[in-house]
Amino acid sequence: MASCTQVQVTVIGAGNVGSSLAQRIAEKDLADVVLLDVVSGRPQGLALDLIEARGIERHNRKISGTIDYTDTANSSVVVITAGLPRKPGLSRDDLLLTNAKIVRDTVRGAIAHSPDAVFVIVTNPLDVMTYLAWKTSGLPAHQVMGMAGVLDSARFQTFIAMELNVSAADVHATVLGGHGDLMVPLPRYSTVGGIPITELMDQATLDRLIDRTRNGGAEIVELMQTGSAFFAPASSAALMVEAILHNQSRLLPVAAYLQGEYGLNDVFIGVPCRIGCQGIENILEMPLTESEREALHRSAQSVRQNVDRALELLGNT
């Protein structure tokens, strides 16, 4: 008899990013979704709300909300969006430790019931949390990746499209490195209809767009005052989930574990990877100029320092 088992994705953290991601996954008909949070009632309520739109959105995906990890069993992909945002009065170290503990606990909870899942980490500080998630999981490195490069590249793509008054669909933008001030937008590898943007705008314009990309998250926080970006982050994570579930071999910039690539070792950082059903199928090494390579190394150095600090803080708990 044919099996009726449906592919399932678990989204941990039913906050802004998590709930938008659940919506995207279900409405794009990618998979059934289990939404898990520590706050009882919230994931259940959001799931019911999403289910009540099914007739209108015309899909039959199951969406359930829970606080119990046993309900997440046998997920193909687990996305971790649980965590606290940066708040006034919360020091960088407090946030690092709090989110490190949350990521550690959620990975432990999820992996116990979905040992073969591909893990996609969204929680900030992204590259650090992806490293901790991988360490905690004991999974092969190709099964753990962080979402940031897709979002940072989408922001760069948007600003280029707005500047040149062309469709974002015709712009390909490349941003490598950590998700933070030291990210590495690569204009040489960013194109409009195949033409490098270095041919289409002067240096001052390029610098302005790069700066806006680097501060993309902060610009939205500044406008919103309470809360941070979640629509584009959810779209970015959904794109990665789709590439995994549909085994698309898409080339996407994701935080991946490096073992010598780009001259870097034992660090998760944003680089272009081929993404399929196994997770990261391989890491693409783009030829970099000396200054691009230096920028990537500077970004990796800062990630590494924060990983060490997080491990030190966790060790004291």
Select 13 or 177, whichever has its Cβ closest to ligand TXD: 13
Q: How far is CA 138 from CA 111, 112, 119, in A?
A: 9, 11, 12
Instruction: Name the site residues for ligand TXD (rule: CB under 6 A).
Output: 12-18, 36-39, 81-83, 85, 99, 102, 105-106, 122-124, 126, 147-148, 151, 179, 228-230, 233
Euclidean distance between CA atoms 122 and 150, whole angstroms: 11
Count how many residues are written for the chain.
Answer: 317
Select 26 or 148, whichever has its Cβ closest to ligand TXD: 148
Torsion over CA of 43, 115, 177 and 210, rounded to 10 degrees? -30
User: What tokens were used for 140?
Assistant: 């092969």
Select 38 or 251, whichever has its Cβ closest to ligand TXD: 38
Among 59, 142, 172, 179, the active-site one is: 179
Minimum distance of ligand TXD from residue 227's CB (angstroms)? 6
Minimum distance of ligand TXD from residue 80's CB (angstroms)? 9
Minimum distance of ligand TXD from residue 206's CB (angstroms)? 23
Q: In the annotation, is 113 catalytic?
A: no
Phi, psi of 231 (to 5 degrees): -65, -55
Phi, psi of 22 (to 5 degrees): -60, -45
Select 151 or 245, whichever has its Cβ closest to ligand TXD: 151
Minimum distance of ligand TXD from residue 84's CB (angstroms)? 7
Residue of minimal CB distance from ligand TXD?
15
Minimum distance of ligand TXD from residue 310's CB (angstroms)? 14
Select 82 or 139, whichever has its Cβ closest to ligand TXD: 82
Q: Which residues are catalytic?
A: 179
